[in-house]
Structure 1
Amino acid sequence: MSSILIKNAKIVNEGQIFEGDVLVENEFIVEIAPQISSKSSQTIIIDAEGNYLLPGVIDDQVHFREPGLTHKGNIESESRAAVAGGITSFIEQPNTVPNAVTQELLEDKYQIAAKTSYANYSFMMGGTNDNLEEVLKTNPENVAGIKLFLGSSTGNMLVDNPEVLEKIFSSTKMLIAVHCEDEGTIKANTEKYKAEFGEDIPMKYHPLIRSEEACYISSSKAIELAKKTGARLHVFHLSTAKEMDLFTNKIPLEEKMITAEVCIHHLWFTDADYETKGSFIKWNPAVKTQKDKDALWEALLDDRIDVIATDHAPHTLEEKKNTYLKAPSGGPLVQHALVAMFEKHLKGMISIEKIVEKMCHNPAKIFKIRNRGFIKEGYYADLTIVNSHSPWNVQKENILAKCGWSPFEGTNFKSRIMHTLVNGKIVYSNGKVAKGNHGQRLLFDRK
C-alpha cells in the first residue's frame, strides 16, 4: 500500500477553508482531520507549509489535438502541462482529425489517453448533420457528453440543419455542450471587412466579425430549443454581456437544465489587448470589450455562470504569426489557468472558495463525475497545493505546452502550483513532472 500524508494545509472545500491534514492511501483520500500522525515509515509526507490544498481542477473544455494535429500538441504533452497547472482531469473536444463522430473513432482517443495521459480524461462525442445514429450509441456512464458546433469548426462538424438539431436535442438525455456562434452572421461580417481591407484585416476587428450578435443569435436559439425539448444543455465559452440575460441563478445548480461556462481568456483580456497581443489572443468566440468582461465577472460571481474552463487550443507559433484570415483561433492555457484566477483573488475580485466552486466542484456536479472534484474521504486523491505568495514569471523555458508559447508570456504571477496529485500519485512537485501515465478514464453517475 502506498500512502501520502499532507500536513499543515489550508484545505479548501465546499465553501470553507480550514487547517488540517489529509491522508491518502493508494488512489483515495482516507482521512481528513486537524492532525494526523504517520502510521508507517513508508508514508511519504508532504508539508503544505500553510499553503492552500485544493481539489484538482476539472477542465471541462480542452483541445489536445490528438489524433491528426499532433504538430500542435498531443494528449501526453498537453496533459503534462495541465498537471503542472493543477488540473487533474480534462474533457477533450471532438474536432480532432479525423473528427470523433463515430463510436470507433471516439474509442481510439480513449486508447491513446490510457497509454499517455498524465491527468484523468474524458472525450466528447461529436455531433454532425448526419450521425445521429452514432450519437445515440454513446454510453452515458463513461463518456462526458455530446458536443455540437453551432458555428464553423474543423472538418464536417458544423451542425446547421434545424431538423437535425432538434432531433439530437430531443433524442438524448446526455449533456449536450454547444459552441454558439451564428455562421451566417460571421460570414457576412467577414465579407464586409474583406471588402474594406482585402486579405489583411487588422486583428482588432475579430470581435466585430465574430460579433456579439453572432453569439447571441446562436446561444438564444440553443437555449430556446433546450427549453422546448427538455434537453440538458451546457453552453461553452460565453463572451458577451448580452448573453448573460439568458441564464439564471434562481435555482440550485443541481436543478439547472441549462448551465454556462466562461473561459480564462474572456475573464482576463479585452479588445484593447489586440494591439499588443495580436493573434495570440485570437479565440472563437472572440475576446470582446471591457463592458463584456465586466458582465462576465458579474455573472460568474452571482452564479448565472457555473464553470470556469480554459478552451486550451494550441497552435504553433508559425501558424499564429499569419495574417488575420490565415491565423487560427485558440491558444494554450491549462498551465496558467489556476494561477491566473489566484491573481484575480489577490486583487480582491474573487474568493478562493469561489474559484474552487467554479473550477473543481461545479464541473464534477454538472457532468456527474464519479468521486472527484471534492476533498472528501472515499474520493480519489486528485489534489493540488497552491502557494499564493511565491512569485514567478512566465517565460518560454518554463512553458510546457508543445507549442512553446503562451498569451501569458512575460506575465508575473504571485501564486505557484507546488504539488499536484492524480489518483494518489505525486505527478508534479516543485517544478518537475513525474514521468508516467497516471490518469484514469472518468466515470459518470448516470444511466
Structure 2
Amino acid sequence: MKSILIKGATLVNEGRVFVADVYIENGFIAEIGTEINKKADQEINAEGLHLFPGMIDDQVHFREPGLTHKADIFSESMAAVAGGITSFMEMPNTVPNTLTQELLADKYQIAAEMSLANYSFFMGASNDNLDEVLRTDPANVCGIKVFMGSSTGNMLVDNATVLENIFSKAPILVATHCEDEMTIQRNLAVYKEKYGDQLTISMHPLIRSAEACYLSSSMAVELAKKHNTRLHILHISTAAEVGLFDAVTPLAEKRITAEACVHHLWFDDQDYAEKGNLIKWNPAVKTSADRDAVLQGVLDNHIDIIATDHAPHTLEEKLQPYIQAPSGGPLVQHALSALLEMYHQGKITLEKIAEKTAHNVAVCFQIDRRGYIREGYWADLVLVNLNDPVKVTKANILYKCGWSPFEGQTFQSEITHTIISGNLAYMKGKFLTNKTGQRMAFNR
C-alpha cells in the first residue's frame, strides 16, 4: 500500500479549520503536522484545497442483488467516491429482501469484490423473521432496518407485537423509515375518489402527509423510550418531527437520534412543477417551511446526521404517470457538492458539514476509527476546491441510471481527490485504483 503525503491542506475537522500536512501510511493517518518532510510514494499539493473527513452515508439503496438494471454496488460506489463519500451503509430492500443472515452475508461478499468505497449493510426486519434479526452481530453489521411504512417485498413491519419484540430485543441500533401506512392509504383513497386517474406529483406530499410522518415517528420514539432501544429515525422531512428529538444530550449518550437527507434540505414542494417525479421520494419533499425547519434542526442538533437515501430508478420508470412512478432518486455523487453549495449560500458552515456527514455518523454507529482526521484512524479523506464551479450534465453523471435531479445545476465547489482506507481512489475526474474498500467494523 502506497504512502501518501498531503501538503498544505486546509483541514476541516472537529470544529476547526486550519492548515496542516497529513501523512498516510499502511491505510492509516500516521501524522498530522504543520511541516511534514517525510518521503512518500505519492505527494499531493493541497494548497488552496480543503480536506474533509470522507462522508459516511448511513442510508443508500444500491439495488444489488435483484434490481441491477437500476444500479449495482460497483457503479454506485464509484459515483459515491467521486462525490466524496468514502463509506456507505446499504439498505435491505433488494431482491430478495435481506431477511436472513445468509442473504446478508451474500451482500458483504459482493461488496468485498466490487465496492470501491468502504461498506456495511443493514439487516432487514419483517413481520416474521425476528429470530434472524436477533442473530445479527453488533461488531460487524451497522444496524437493523425497520420499514414502518411502505416498502418493497415483505418488509412493511406493521404487526404491533413484532415491533414490540424488535424494539425490546434488538442487539444493536434500529433504523426506521417512519410513515403511517393507514394515514397514507386513507389520504390516497380520498384523492382517488376526487381525482380518479388524474393524480399528479403535486399531491404526493399531501397523500404521504406530514401527519403520516409524525404519527409514525412519534410512535417509534414512544416505543424506544419504553424499551430503551437504540433508535435512529431516517429522513426526517417535517417541521413537526424535529421537536421529537433531544438537542441537549451529548450524541454519544443519546438513545434516540435522527437523520436528515440532502433532498429534504434542498428541494420543496414548489420544485415539483419543474422536477416532477424526479423528486418523488418517500417521505415526500414537503413545504419550504418544513425544509427550513429540518435544516434548523440539523444546525441546532435536534437532527444528528445528514445522508442521501440514494435510491436510483431508471429514467423510464420515473417518467411514468405519478401513481406508477417509483419513489427515490440518485444522490451520492452530488450530496457533498450540494451541502458545499449551501455553505456558499450562508446556510451551513464547513465545520457543521464535517460534523453531520462524518463525525456524528461515526459516533452514532460506533464505527471503528473512521469519521475523523485523526492520527491512528483510517485515511478516509476528501479534498475539495471550494472555488472551481462544476455543472451537472449527462456527460459527467456516473450513476448507472444516467440521470440526476441536480442536472443543470452548477455547483461552486469541485471534489478533486478521494482517499479510501489509505488508497487514492479518485483524482480530478479519474479513478486510480481497482482496490476495493474495507468492511466497516463497530466498537460495540
User: Normalised by the size of structure 2, how large is the TM-score?
Assistant: 0.99
> How far apart are the structure 2 equivalents of 1:296 and 1:2?
42
CA distance in structure 2 between the partners assigned to 1:198 and 1:436 by the alignment: 52
Q: Is the 8 A contact 2:424 2:433 kept in 1?
A: no
Query: 1:66 & 1:173 partners in 2: Cα distance?
Result: 26
Q: Could you tell me which of 289, 292, 300 is aligned with 1:291?
A: 289
Distance 1:107 1:201 in 2: 41
2:32 match? 32
Match of 1:231, SS? coil
For 1:314-346, what per-residue CA distance to the aligned partner results, in whole angstroms no more than 9, with x for missing partners? 000000000111000000000000010000101
| Residue identity opposite 2:71 in structure 1 | G
| Other structure's SS at 1:246 match | coil
Match of 1:353 in 2: 351
CA distance in 2, matches of 1:438, 1:417: 20
SS at match of 1:381: coil
| Structure 2 residue 22 is matched with structure 1 residue 22 | yes
What's the offset of the Cα at 1:435? 4.3
Question: Which amino acid in 2 is paired with 1:121?
Answer: Y
8 Å contact from structure 2 (residues 387, 413) kept in 1:
yes
**Aligned counterpart, 1:68:** 66
Give the secondary-structure state (helix, strand or coil) at the position aligned to 1:371. coil
Distance apart, 1:353 and its partner CA: 0.3
Q: Does the 8 Å CA contact 1:8/1:47 hold for their aligned counterparts?
A: yes
Residue 176 (structure 1) aligned to one of 171, 174, 177: 174
Once the 2 structures are TM-superposed, how far is the Cα of residue 3 of structure 1 from its aligned partner?
0.7
- The answer (yes or no) to whether the contact 1:206–1:286 under 8 Å persists in 2 is yes
Structure 1 position 392, deviation (Å): 1.2
For the pair 1:149 / 2:172, whether they are aligned, the reply is no
Q: Is the 8 A contact 2:134 2:171 kept in 1?
A: no
Partners of 2:308 and 2:33 in 1: CA distance: 33
* Secondary structure of 2:111 counterpart: helix
Cα distance in 2 between the residues matched to 1:332 and 1:295: 24
Other-structure match for 1:436 = 434
1:38-437 → structure 2 map (5 Å cutoff) = 38-39=38-39, 43-437=41-435
Contact 1:82 1:335 in 2 (8 A): yes
Describe the SS at the equivalent of 2:243: helix
CA distance in 2, matches of 1:361, 1:348: 21
Give the number of equivalent residue pairs: 444
Q: What SS does the aligned partner of 2:76 have?
A: helix
CA distance in 2, matches of 1:170, 1:354: 33
Separation in 1 of the partners of 2:342 and 2:150? 32
- Separation in structure 1 between the aligned mates of residue 401 and residue 29 of structure 2, nearest angstrom: 35
Deviations 1:93-127 (A, max 9, x none): 00000000000001100000000000000000000
User: How many Å apart are 1:245 and its aligned residue?
Assistant: 1.3
The range that moved more, 428-437 or 311-320, is: 428-437
The answer (yes or no) to whether the contact 2:279–2:405 under 8 Å persists in 1 is: yes
Give the conservation status (yes or no) of the 8 Å contact 1:280–1:320.
yes
RMSD: 0.8
Q: Distance in 2 between matches of 1:244 and 1:296?
A: 7
Mapped partners of 1:323, 1:82: distance in 2 = 29
In structure 2, distance between residues paired with 1:216 and 1:276: 27
| Contact 2:113–2:436 under 8 Å retained in 1 | no
Quick one: distance in 2 between partners of 1:261 and 1:9?
29
**CA displacement, residues 359-395 of structure 1 (integer Å, 9 cap, x when unaligned):** 0000010000000000011111110001100001000
Q: Which moved more, 1:428-437 or 1:249-258?
A: 428-437
Paired residues of 1:173 and 1:231 also in contact (CA < 8 A): no
| d(CA) in 2 for partners of 1:32, 1:353 | 18
2:112 is paired with a residue of what secondary structure?
helix
Partner Cα distance (2:121, 2:373) in 1: 24
Shift of 1:14: 0.6
Question: How far, CA to CA, are the matches of 2:381 and 2:242 in structure 1?
Answer: 32
Amino acid at match of 1:416: E
Unaligned segments of structure 1, at least 5 residues: none
CA distance in 2, matches of 1:189, 1:35: 62
2:9 counterpart residue number = 9
1:3 partner amino acid: S
**Mapped contact 1:141–1:445 kept (Cα < 8 A):** yes
Cα-to-partner distance string for 1:189-242 (whole Å, 9 max, x where unaligned)? 111111222223111000000000000000000000000001000000000001
Q: Would the alpha carbon gap of residues 102 and 165 (structure 1) be closer, same or farther in structure 2, given more than 3 Å must change?
A: same
Matched residues in 2 for 1:170 and 1:441: separation? 28
Instruction: Please give the alpha-carbon distance, in whole angstroms, between the structure 2 residues aligned to 1:138 and 1:350.
Output: 37
TM-score, normalised by the number of residues in structure 1:
0.98
Following TM superposition, the consecutive aligned residue runs of length 4 or more in structure 1 with deviations greater than 4 angstroms are none
- Choose 174-183 or 242-251, whichever is displaced more: 242-251
How far is 1:173 from its partner?
Answer: 3.1
